[in-house]
Structure 1
């Protein structure tokens, strides 16, 4: 009996040691597997604009690789139109081969993607905090209560202007603060009379200035549901077109037809102001001979629309993870630890590409506190960040560019041919509704 008991105890000890050994082995294997999960992995990122977005992606890559040296990050520069086409082609055919893990998508386009391909993007709601970002950005980056995009750059609109030319016309910096578009036209006429310079450039085929005017009043081409066309009874659009017509008839506009003419006009000193997105700053500052002669004010508002404020947006984009391409957890981790939270990255990009970030914490960083000599010592990033926080939120919806294709002709019929605004917008509404259905 005693012998049997001893054998039983011995067997128990052996089994226990065996189990412990297995457990230890399993634990070690788990460690090895975990380590393998963070090495020899690859993330592919698509973005356009080698001087801005691609630079941002490269800086994010450098930061991420410090903590994750085994990850390979490949950044592919591609024209925005090509990105849009390739995404649509692949996602519509349920094919992920050749697609990136992370892609940059313009805010005006993203609702179309999220609606058309609802299962193709990774929900980032648990990876980043929505409250860490400027509120206006969240509506375009979200769908059905989930946050899919990691907000990136602000397209906050601002009025860049030549202080020397304005002074010749009898105006100081204080005269440019929180003005209406009507006041802007008045000042522009004085500038033209005193200096012979146009106040701004305008391209008849580009309705960007109307987008600025509409969003300043919390309105868009579609209603809050993102699909109902909103042209005929859109007060902000109607008043914006009136101002557009006044601008074109005022004698203060230099008409242009492309980007090079647009940039050339202010770099050559042919216009006194540039009312557009903050992203234009890098082009303005390239005219080094004009250093100290520029300042920045809040964008004008629509005087006839009570809801209009001196804050709006034009452009901007966000980062998205394609859910079915593979390694979506790794791609999500990359975005979360860089663009999603890292204010040091934003500080670096503020210096390298003049980024106005939509990550709220960015405004507390060193480069946001700097006075900029080119702008007469103005702390331009502080001001742009403040105005970004005041941008009215709108749903850009599914049809921004489809509607603008229709509206461009409508606006020209009003400006050039004298068509009645109400009648013209009623017709545009019908065309846009038909295009939306098709």
Structure 2
């Protein structure tokens, strides 16, 4: 998912500090109601909640003894309540949706907080990168849910006008050359030159995407920072080259990101599959003018990349572990439900058998005659299993600051990344 919380670790600390205060009024053990039914409480945000409500309705057809109480919360609300509840063992839902890049932080701080669902998952049926995301210290702490395999959305009309063949864009250098042609040939509806791609110069998105093509993250499998690894440095140098080329459009924050679609100001957007919904919502008049191609590759990069996604955890102290596990398994592995969740809410399944459902076979006419899902299906299978550190969220601000120095202030890449390595090493001893 797109939402991010920059102060996850702070929320965890606050939760731990206020644990004693939270013991009162958090609710204790619950039991089956008089009619013998068992109630499962679920915490999730907007579209995730709607998908789970649909799954519950189907599940109850064969399990009338199980009822559900759904509580809609934003991610920040969930994480604040989750920190306190895991610290005290009280007041926590049975089933909790959580973003994939946040999960390991909670699994590390509260190793007994979530039910180990290793016995309920056939790992071969899920995208390998998502299994890596939910696995930590010999446990599987959640069921993988939606994934974010990435590709390059591009405007076919701008490409044609500039004489750019998408098949000729194999490397990031090719992208730069194509961007120069497009800027020289194409105008936005307001008369401004069209830029190639949008970039936030204070965020790590472009660097992270190129780094992911090397199959590495910010930390290694032992939790050691590796931002001064030669591949990481090369990824940052490549990102700087793209930024310095002048073919990018600066943006600041999500609202301005969406405006690049509204204003028709860029010819391409390197992003995850969930961008389909944003493009259709913000640019309805551009139907038929978009298509999708693979991301350009960095020399030596052999992997596809992913951005965003969520998972579904179960409270380890639930009164109904068997029922909770059975429902979550049903919700995450029923292919028709997974296809419906993608079609209605943009939740791209990480459960591989789902891709046999009709929606993934027929594509989306908004993006032309080519089935755009084929590229996301293949790319999702080729994302590296990159170790996720419990410190990844907290490291994000430091990485963003380094990117800003390099992009906006012209700082030397190698020395900046070495300084970043020292900072992260000291910070996370």
Give the TM-score of the pair, scaled to structure 1: 0.85
1:70 to 65, 87, 90: 65
Task: Tell me the equivalent position of 2:391.
Answer: 399
Give the TM-score of the pair, scaled to structure 2: 0.87
Query: Given the alignment of the two structures, is residue 60 of structure 1 paired with residue 55 of structure 2, yes or no?
Result: yes
1:203 to 200, 208, 213: 200
Task: Tell me the equivalent position of 1:79.
Answer: 74
Instruction: Encode CA deviations 1:296-331: one digit per residue, 9 max, x unaligned.
Output: 11222212xx2x135111111111101014322221
Task: Tell me the equivalent position of 1:100.
Answer: 93
Contact 1:38 1:71 in 2 (8 A): no
Q: Secondary structure at the match of 2:428?
A: helix
Cα distance in 2 for partners of 1:390, 1:262 equals: 27
Specify whether residues 434 and 171 from structure 1 end up closer, same or farther in structure 2 by C-alpha distance, changes over 3 A only: same
Contact 1:47 1:104 in 2 (8 A): yes
Q: Secondary structure at the match of 1:231?
A: coil
Task: Tell me the equivalent position of 2:155.
Answer: 162
Task: Tell me the equivalent position of 1:139.
Answer: 132
Cα distance in 2 for partners of 1:157, 1:242 equals: 21
Q: Secondary structure at the match of 1:161?
A: strand
More off after superposition, 111-120 vs 38-47: 38-47
Correspondence 1:289-300 to 2 at 5 A: 289-300=285-296
Q: Secondary structure at the match of 2:104?
A: helix
Structure 1: gaps of 5 or more residues: 1-34
Correspondence 1:172-187 to 2 at 5 A: 172-176=165-169, 179-187=170-178
Instruction: Encode CA deviations 1:110-154: one digit per residue, 9 max, x unaligned.
Output: 111112111111111111211110111111101233322111111
Superposed displacement of residue 156, structure 1: 0.6
Q: Secondary structure at the match of 1:126?
A: helix
Superposed displacement of residue 374, structure 1: 0.7
Query: Given the alignment of the two structures, is residue 128 of structure 1 paired with residue 121 of structure 2, yes or no?
Result: yes
Task: Tell me the equivalent position of 2:266.
Answer: 271
Superposed displacement of residue 383, structure 1: 2.3
Q: Secondary structure at the match of 2:70?
A: strand
Instruction: Encode CA deviations 1:390-434: one digit per residue, 9 max, x unaligned.
Output: 111101211222212112222222223332222111111121122
Superposed displacement of residue 205, structure 1: 2.6
Specify whether residues 142 and 69 from structure 1 end up closer, same or farther in structure 2 by C-alpha distance, changes over 3 A only: same
Task: Tell me the equivalent position of 1:12.
Answer: none
Structure 2: gaps of 5 or more residues: 1-31, 187-192
Specify whether residues 216 and 39 from structure 1 end up closer, same or farther in structure 2 by C-alpha distance, changes over 3 A only: farther
Q: Secondary structure at the match of 2:168?
A: helix
Contact 1:130 1:147 in 2 (8 A): no
Task: Tell me the equivalent position of 1:422.
Answer: 414
Q: Secondary structure at the match of 2:274?
A: helix
Task: Tell me the equivalent position of 1:222.
Answer: 219
Q: Secondary structure at the match of 1:56?
A: helix
Q: CA RMSD in A?
A: 1.9
Query: Given the alignment of the two structures, is residue 383 of structure 1 paired with residue 375 of structure 2, yes or no?
Result: yes
Aligned length: 391
Instruction: Encode CA deviations 1:155-196: one digit per residue, 9 max, x unaligned.
Output: 1111111011011111234334xx222211221111111112
Cα distance in 2 for partners of 1:223, 1:138 equals: 17
Cα distance in 1 for partners of 2:132, 2:62 equals: 32
1:190 to 181, 186, 202: 181
Cα distance in 2 for partners of 1:235, 1:78 equals: 41
Task: Tell me the equivalent position of 1:20.
Answer: none
Specify whether residues 250 and 351 from structure 1 end up closer, same or farther in structure 2 by C-alpha distance, changes over 3 A only: same
